[in-house]
Amino acid sequence: MAVETMQEGMMTDRIAELKKSIIESPIVHDVERLKFLMEVYRETDGESPIMRRAKVFDRVLSGKTIYIDENPIVCTVGRGRNYVYVYPEFSCEWMGDKSNYATDRLAIGFTEEERGLINETIDYWRNRCQAAISRRIYESLHRGEADFDTMFEAGRIATALADFPFRHAMADYPTILNKGLNWQIAVAEKKLAKVEVWDFGNREARSKYDFYQAVIMCLRAVVKLAHRYASLAREMAKAEADPERRLELLRIAETCKWVPAKPARNFYEAVQSFWFVSVASLIEEEGCGITPWKFSQYMYPFYKKDIDEGRITREQAIVLLEFLFLKMKETYFMLPALSLLANSGQTSKYFKLGGVTADGKDATNEIDYLLLETQRRLLVPEPALSVFYHDKMPEDFLHECVKLLRTGIGQPQFLNNDIAIQRELHHQGCSLEEARDVSTIYCTSVALPNTSACFSGVINLAKPIELALNNGRDPGSGQQIGPMTGGAESFSSYEEFFDAFRKQVSYVLLRQREFNSIELSTIAELLPNPWRSAVHHDCLERGLSLDAGGARYQTGGHLMSGGTDAVNSLAAIKKLVFDEKKITLKKLKEVLDANFEGHEDIQRMCLKAPKFGNNDDYVDEIARRFWDLVYDIFKGSPFDRNRKGTRLEPYSIALHIVFGYLMGALPTGRKAGIPLTDGSVSAMPGTDVNGPTALANSAARAMDAVKYGTNHLNMKFHPSALEGTHGARNLISLIKTYMEMGGFHIQFNCISAETLKDAQLHPENYRDLVVRVAGFSAFYVYLDKAIQDEIIKRTELKFAE
Amino acid sequence: MECLWCCNPESQTINPKLFYFESRCTRCQHCVSVCPNGAISVHADGSIKTNRNLCNACGTCVEACPNEARAISGELKTVYEVLEVVKKDSLFYRNSGGGVTASGGEPTSQPKFLLALFQACSRSGFHTCLDTCGYVSWEVLEHALEYTDLVLYDIKHMDPKRHIELTGVDNELILQNAGRVAKNGIPLVIRVPLIPGCNDSKENMEALAKYAIKLGVREINLLPYHELGVNKYERLGMKYDLAATNSFQKNRAEAIKGDIERYNLEVTII
């Protein structure tokens, strides 16, 4: 039975069962990829990196085990439900340590043969992987510094890209859906024919030759993979006794024979074509930010045509989208334990909802409504929905958004459309029409679609507080990991201390950027991604891969964690040490060294010092000065010419947990090891006591959101605060006001603390409970206890009457 | 007026009050030694007592308490200071149609301040709402109304005798003032706290509905009794006379809402 003839009641059960199975199935390291990877790398020694990458891609797609399950949309990354590939080319040592797999989400039980393959892979990549090469280069540049592990353990440097091979790109779905990959192959072949072989002495000509060869191989590999699914569906149909299921399988066969090679002819084909391209990107390289981009805008014509011609109903379209969501839910990361903690295993597939068209009109259409309804029925943390809010959006659409928020899933998140546009104009100098196409690239960050984006590393903004208090010495390890800016006893005014802090920020930021720049160049050189380049906007025309200048725009994002902790630390020091002289800085430092033990009175005093998020000018002005300072340091530091659009992105995924775990006590009253503050403009947990409008006021004023690449505000509401039309209006008014004041991002948790506490005690009853963590949602019971505690702590807010 | 069920007893007089959270107290006696008025003492059983007659809520003990078992409720602020806070939220008001509500306690018990605040709000263009029990001289009310955009008016009971029993005062002045406010033409909403067994009888609700119609009022708010204020009495060292009363049942409130709606009035349960 084809999707178009499916009845609602029947599908509800089928979808529910599939969802249950996906949620309950363990996540498994699929070693099949390692076999193909090792084969190809052994066979291709001496070939250009891009050809080697294309051959790995082709070998995986041609050889991987495929299956078709109850989902009428086909194709997965691995060979079974929740099977995940691992990418030792980026970093590999962790794969050998069993404890790295040891989270309750992962099932590890390798056969002897598989274990052998893993060890062999590690041996091969140990010194060849990106992480090892980048580290060698960094260490050779900074011989005088403390060793790398010390800096890592102190939370001063984050080996971001080693574990997060996060290059992001938005595939040109509109072109692929409407023209098909065959068209792309034809373009590439024409371009290849024009490469002048007599000019191979010119490096550019030679690299174009390699590029087009690689791209054609990848495009063909994906068409071949679709055809493999078509054959499998046909075979299964032959053996199928149930006539309805047989029809459905034949429909799958027909679809996969047609797309993505040729232009999609209806909504179902468009969805399947979209999914082949997405999965292929995830197979080529693990990573988040393989985003559907403005899905509703390019899918709408297919939907409209089907509706007009009576081929599909609204209900059937929603059912199909539910199946697509489940397909997207089935993709994960497999990362070293600490990185998995930092990332919470989410792959950040965000739909852009709303926004404006190139000519500035409201872009909200029927698909946007369907996506909200799909999520309301399914309630899965991924994919996620991002509303690009502006004042021209339809009122009923915003009320539909609130309906979804009431479920407690934490979606959609709201982004300020006007600021996102201004931001691209500011950073990229693009045209206004291009800027209006800005979309979520991952989590809360945005980019232009024709951009090669990447995650450029993480900066821990709380660390410089520790360093400024300790003359550049790390209190944990006792090693010198920052410049000597004077001991705690040497500062006679707040400004003197602030100056030392400024120097430490400057140092940490520059060193972190250096390290990440090395990582990026190593990846660009050794691990180009020909498939993603083939389906990206300008690469085919330019004959260059994404990282080598194929994309019209480049950007990168330095994630930042600990900003609120730095601000609150500065406020406590200013108030207690210099304004009120209640304690000397030297004494404060000693108390922090002792982790407040035996000094509970001083800890209380620190906790009572002004805290960000209460609309208190004293600390809010410190916050603004701090964020302006960080931006100025960034702008004043040497520039990565290959990533001109690179920006600071103050949101932390779950890195605040990692850095918090690695750091000592802070003047905020926070003890050692406790997570830092989650969002960049959120309040330290439990310290925003003046209600939602006060928090929104502080958050909106904290930084210039146009200059910064993003920011991040969490608010948690008891469901009762959103009851009725009145409650919805209050929330919409809050969002509108926050945006108008200059806020950029806001998201809501709408669940009671009681529910969350009960879920800790009885996780078995709450397997499907979804909460908002930091720029994304996750299944609550799978989260680390520390994260669970933090979500409970985030102050429960309720609108006053 | 001191209603039995008052959930904000700290606001019955104007000055800031000391809250004492006994469950957080570890009896460390830090507070005893720092109190400049000698108001805090240790009883034979080790418990800490505060002599409310000596305490002037100076806050010294709050600073000294390591367990956050003591806190001050209420702040003395000038009109200018309040307006500064209000101004920060002006965009929220513009977008939501919200504004400033003077509530309590009873705002008309600080008539000069109320008038000055509402004048200032009015000048700045903020919407003003007066939440009053109506037990105030008409002169004070009349003055405030000049700068008021909406009145929320409490009527606790229609029967004068019962009113005295429950609140300590007669309802004559309250009803008289309600009539005057209605005549004045400012949008008026009547609010009724629903206290089980005190004022939730069918007769009283009917009398109230009829009275509302007589005044030309269109909207009634029902505020079902809740127990959230009970702990405050303990914290303030006060006695709670409604101690055995449970929160108002939801379906009962819905039924009363239905009864009043029959009179063609708009009813909201708050």
Here the ipTM equals 0.75
Nearest of A672, A498, A675, A687 to residue A574 by alpha carbon: A498
Would you state the pLDDT for residue A6? 53
Q: A 684-703 residues with CB below 8 A of B?
A: 693, 697
Q: Which residues contact A94 (CB under 8 A, 6 or more apart)?
A: A100, A163, A335, A336, A337
A535 to A153, A175, A531, A551: CA distances (angstroms): 39, 9, 7, 11
- From CA B117, how far away is CA B121, in angstroms rounded? 6
Residue A331 tokens read as 């993709």
User: What does the alpha-carbon distance between residue A685 and residue A793 come to, in Å, rounded to a whole number?
Assistant: 6
Report whether B72 contacts B99 (CB < 8 A): no
Beta-carbon separation of B91 and A741 below 8 A: yes
Residue A503, SS3?
Answer: helix
CA distance A273 to A261: 8
Query: CA–CA separation, A75 vs A481, rounded Å?
Result: 48
Q: Which chain A residues touch B89 with a CB distance below 8 Å?
A: 693, 697
Judge contact between A529 and A179, C-beta under 8 A: no
Two tokens, residue A336: 């070293």
Q: Which residues pair with A648 in a beta bridge?
A: A558
Strand-pair partners of B263: none
At residue A724, the pLDDT reads: 80
Cα(A589)–Cα(A596) distance, integer angstroms? 10
Q: Looking at the partner chain, which of A697, A736, A801 has a beta carbon nearest the beta carbon of B95? A: A736
Q: What is the pLDDT of residue B270?
A: 81
Tokens of B245: 């009363």
Per-domain residue ranges for chain B? 17-73, 79-269
pLDDT at site A799: 43
Q: Among B26, B61, B81, B91, pick the best mutation site for testing chain A contact (most A Cβ within 10 A).
A: B91
Which amino acid appears at position A150 of this protein? T
Scanning B42-81 for CB atoms below 8 A from A yields: 66, 68
Structure tokens at A382: 């991924």
Distance from CA of B92 to the nearest CA of A (A): 6
Dihedrals φ, ψ of A45, to 5°?
A: -50, 130
Please tell me if the domain spanning B17-73 has the same topology as the one spanning B79-269.
no
Q: Is B270 on the interface with A (CB under 8 A)?
A: yes
Is domain B17-73 annotated with CATH 3.30.70.20?
yes
Q: Is A801 on the interface with B (CB under 8 A)?
A: yes
**B13 conformational bin, left if phi > 0, alpha if psi -120 to 50, beta if neither:** beta
Nearest CA in chain A to B66: A601
Q: Which of A600, A734, A737 sits opposite B66 (nearest CB)?
A: A600
- Rounded to an integer, what distance in angstroms lies between the CA atom of residue B191 and that of residue B204? 14
Beta carbons of A697 and B89 less than 8 Å apart: yes
CA distance B189 to A297: 47
Other beta carbons less than 10 A from residue B220's beta carbon: 24
> Measured between beta carbons, which residues in chain B are less than 8 angstroms from residue A728?
none
Q: Which of A312, A351, A346, A319 is CA-nearest to residue A332?
A: A346
The per-residue pLDDT for range B90-147, each reduced to its tens digit, is: 899 988 888 999 987 789 989 999 999 999 999 999 999 999 999 999 999 999 999 9
Q: Which candidate from B66, B96, B270 shows the least CB-CB separation from A801?
A: B270
> What secondary structure letter does DSSP report for A536?
S
Q: What is the pLDDT of residue B4?
A: 74
Verify whether the Cβ–Cβ distance B91 to A729 is below 8 Å: no
Q: Which residues pair with B73 in a beta bridge?
A: B17
Asked whether A83 and A76 are in contact (CB, 8 A), the reply is yes
Q: Do A615 and B88 touch (CB under 8 A)?
A: yes
- Give the minimum alpha-carbon distance from B269 to chain A in angstroms, rounded to a whole number: 12
Among candidate residues A536, A535, A531, the one with its CA nearest the CA of residue A551: A536
The answer to whether the CB of A689 falls within 8 A of the CB of A681 is no
Per the DSSP assignment, residues forming a β-bridge with A747 are A714
Helix (H, G, I), strand (E, B) or coil at B153: strand
Cis bond leading into A383, ω under 30°? yes
| Probe site for chain B from A729, A733, A736, A741 (most B CB atoms < 10 A) | A733
Q: Would you tell me which residues 731-770 of chain A have a C-beta closer than 8 angstroms to some C-beta of chain B?
A: 733-734, 736-737, 740-741
Dist. CA B8–CA B235, nearest whole Å:
12
Of B66, B92, B270, the CB nearest to A737: B92
Question: What's at B46, amino acid-wise?
Answer: G
Tell me which residue of A549, A563, A536 sits closest to A441, measured CA to CA.
A536
Contact yes or no for B64/B31 (Cβ under 8 A): yes
Spatial contact of A516 and A558, defined as CB atoms under 8 Å apart: yes
A444 contact partners, CB below 8 Å, separation of at least 6: A413, A415, A649, A651, A710, A711, A712, A744, A745, A775
Å from B177 to nearest chain A CA?
Answer: 25
Measured between beta carbons, the chain B residues lying within 8 angstroms of A740 are 91, 95
Chain B residues closer than 8 Å to A615 by CB: 88
For B173-222, give the secondary structure using H, E and C: HHHHHHHHHHHHCCCEEEEEEECCCCCCCHHHHHHHHHHHHHHCCCEEEE
CB–CB contact B66 A604 (8 Å): yes
Residues in chain A with pLDDT < 70? 1-11, 98-108, 158-165, 289, 338, 340-346, 639-642, 718-721, 764-765, 767-779, 782, 794-801
Backbone angles phi, psi at A551, to 5 degrees: -85, 145
Structure tokens at A210: 């390699």
In whole angstroms, give the CA distance from residue A777 to residue A794: 15
A557 near A456, Cβ under 8 Å? Answer: yes
pLDDT value of residue B64: 85
Q: How far apart are CA A329 and CA A21, in angstroms?
A: 12
The neighbouring-strand residues paired with A454 are A167, A556
A461 CB-contact burial (10 Å; exposed 0-12 / middle 13-18 / buried 19+): buried
- Contact A714/A652 with Cβ under 8 angstroms? no
What is the per-residue pLDDT for A306? Answer: 97
- pLDDT: which is higher, A347 or B193: B193
Q: Would an 8 Å CB–CB cutoff place B91 in contact with chain A? A: yes
> How many residues appear in chain A?
801
In this complex, is the C-beta atom of A489 within 8 Å of any C-beta atom belonging to chain B?
no
Q: Which chain A residues contact residue B96 at CB under 8 A?
A: 729-730, 733-734, 737
Torsion of Cα atoms, A193 then A195 then A196 then A202, to 10°: -160
- Report the top-level CATH class of B79-269: alpha beta
**Looking at chain A from residue 98 to 137, which residues have their Cβ under 8 Å from any Cβ of chain B?**
none
Cβ burial B57-72 (10 Å sphere, 16+ → b, else e): beeebbebbeeebbbe
> What are the angstrom distances between the C-alpha of A372 and each of A147, A384, A715, A721, B249?
50, 10, 20, 20, 35
The C-alpha of A53 sits at a distance from chain B's nearest C-alpha, in angstroms, of 54
Tens digits of residue pLDDT in B6-42: 777 777 777 888 888 887 788 888 899 899 999 999 9
Question: CA A311 to CA A290: how far, in whole Å?
Answer: 30
B96/A737 touch (CB, cutoff 8 Å), yes or no: yes
Query: What span, in angstroms and rounded, lies between the C-alpha atoms of A111 and B92?
Result: 61
